[in-house]
Amino acid sequence: MLDFQEAQRRLSEAGPAPSRHEQRPLAELAGRILAQDLVARQDAPPADNSAMDGYALRLQDYAPGRILPVQERCYAGHQPAPLQPGQATRLFTGSLIPEGADTVMMQEYCRETDAGVEFLEAPVAGSHIRRQGEDSAIGSVLIEAGTVLNAAHIGLLASQGYTDAAVFPRVRIGILTTGDELVPPGQPRQPSQIYNSNGAMLAALAAGMNAEISHVLHAIDREDALTDAFRTLLRDSDLVLSVGGVSVGERDLVKPTLEKLGGSLDLWKVKMKPGKPVALANVDGKPVIGLPGNPVSAFAVFTVLVTPLLRRMQGNATLFPVTGLYPLRADQPYNDSREEFLRVQYRPDESGPALHPYAHQGSGMLRALPWASGLAQIPPASGTGDGAYVRYYDFAHWLRP
């Protein structure tokens, strides 16, 4: 059995980083991973402009009670004339600063009459002027390669005139569920059977990581059926996830099937709860991860073990999202011999933010997953109890690219 930290490290290195990229338009960039550094094509702002509606003046022309004639009114998008000594220019937010002006006074502190504008307070030199290049200087790096692009990045790129960007290809994930006891949701079910929740759940988890789903297949517990399914998935996928059949029972056939397909088994069991039976193989240069068949276990393993590998294969610069330390609210101490991952909600109580475990932590409690906001990591044989600070894997961070 492997310690959790070692298993996490090995799995994170089990697949290749992307070696190619593709150009995609701005409208298709959200959630994609940037493949190349992008630099500013122009200064931002491209010229000095006004941060407020108000009046541009030369500070040396100000005197208490003095009225300056308004030379012109200049709107955003228009080119102002050079400011003449002893005059002012009416500006609006985004208006270019006229040549010769060095200060802008907000309109709230001005009074304009037919004779001109009077300043009700003393202006401050250089106030309310957005300087050329103060946001981005031409040639400076705007976004680094390996960044997961979002709406803010896309807005920044558009402001610099970009219409597209180079991103890494989406990882193609093939999913295989196994077991004679499983039937598709909506189909007739015998008393000895259960509905297959793993296929749809893992497809949704992979899609949430912005992966492309190549196939979601099911195979009965027969070696020929498993072999055919694996061959299809390996042909059309970059990463294969199989669910169930990775333990040591007579009908757990995933391990011998992968070995017959030429897979080299790197990992078999992990000291974690839930999720002890986990297999990692490499077939034809493609990683195949065998997840436990229990849906709660499969969900937990995907979250903490599979997502770092998927980020590597996507080209993400950050494989391991941030985790925090928060106090646990527990009715009893936890003392399992394995690393335990409790389904918890992160929410404040009278003492501040804390982690509140689901009342029933059994691996068969599927309702705990939609209830939970993340997983609390309990060190093995630690006797961790109420008030202890434990590591928190927030789904909002760990189940996204």
pLDDT tens, 4-19?
A: 999 999 999 999 999 9
Same domain, 301 and 233: yes
Tell me what pLDDT residue 330 has.
Answer: 92
Q: What is the pTM of this model?
A: 0.91
Q: Which residues neighbour 381 within 8 Å (Cβ) at sequence distance 6 or greater?
A: 335, 336, 337
Q: What angle do CA 316, 320, 326 make, to 5 degrees?
A: 145
156 and 34, same domain (yes or no): yes
pLDDT per residue over 366-392, tens digit each? 999 999 999 999 999 999 999 999 999
Query: Does residue 103 sit within a domain?
Result: yes
Is the per-residue pLDDT at 1 higher than 90? no
C-beta separation of 244 from 293 below 8 A: yes
The average confidence (pLDDT) of the chain is 95
Helix, strand and coil in the chain, % to nearest 5: 20, 35, 45
CB 216 within 8 A of CB 236: no
Q: Which of 95-99, 228-232, 273-277, 304-308 has the lowest mean pLDDT?
A: 273-277
Domain that includes residue 150, residue range: 22-44+134-167
Could you give the 3-state DSSP secondary structure of residue 25? strand
Same domain, 177 and 308: yes
Please tell me the total count of domains within the chain. Answer: 4
pLDDT for 248 equals: 61
Evaluate if residue 86 carries a pLDDT over 80: yes
Q: Distance between CA 316 and CA 125 in Å, rounded?
A: 45
Averaged pLDDT for residues 305-327? 97
User: What's the confidence (pLDDT) of residue 155?
Assistant: 98
pLDDT at residue 151, rounded to an integer: 98
pLDDT of 240-292, one tens digit each? 999 987 766 656 788 888 889 998 777 678 999 999 889 899 999 999 999 99
Residues 245 and 381 in one domain: no
Cβ-based neighbour number of residue 150 at 10 Å: 13
CATH number reported for the structural domain that contains residue 338 in this entry: 2.40.340.10
Q: Are residues 28 and 156 in the same domain?
A: yes
Q: Which two tokens stand for residue 368?
A: 């705990």
202/292 same-domain check: yes
Identify whether the C-beta of residue 4 lies closer than 8 Å to the C-beta of residue 271: yes
319 domain residue, yes or no: no
At 351 the pLDDT is: 87
**Does 183 share its domain with 264?**
yes
Q: Using the predicted structure, report yes or no on whether residue 357 has a pLDDT greater than 80.
A: yes
pLDDT the model gives residue 249: 60
Residues 158 and 35 grouped into a single domain: yes
96-144 per-position pLDDT tens digit: 999 999 999 999 999 999 999 999 999 999 999 999 999 999 999 999 9
Q: What are the residue ranges of helices labelled H in 180-270?
A: 198-208, 223-236, 254-260
Average of per-residue pLDDT across 329-346: 94
Residue 149 inside a domain? The answer is yes
Furthest C-alpha separation in the chain: 97
Q: Which two tokens stand for residue 133?
A: 């290049």
Is the pLDDT confidence value at 174 over 90?
A: yes
Would 361 be classed as within a structural domain?
A: yes
Q: Where are the beta strands (DSSP E) in 94-171?
A: 103-106, 110-113, 116-119, 129-130, 141-143, 164-167
Same domain, 277 and 381: no
> In sequence order, which residues have a C-beta less than 8 Å from that of residue 284 and are 6 or more positions away?
234, 262
Could you tell me the CATH number of the domain that includes residue 139?
3.90.105.10
Judge whether 182 lies within some domain. yes
Residues 125 and 147 in one domain: no
**Residue-level pLDDT at 148:** 98
CA-wise closest residue to 294 among 278, 309, 283: 278
For residue 67, being part of any structural domain is answered with yes
Does residue 176 sit in the same domain as residue 274?
yes
Task: Let me know whether 296 and 181 are in one domain.
Answer: yes
| Contact present, 12 and 308 (Cβ < 8 Å) | yes
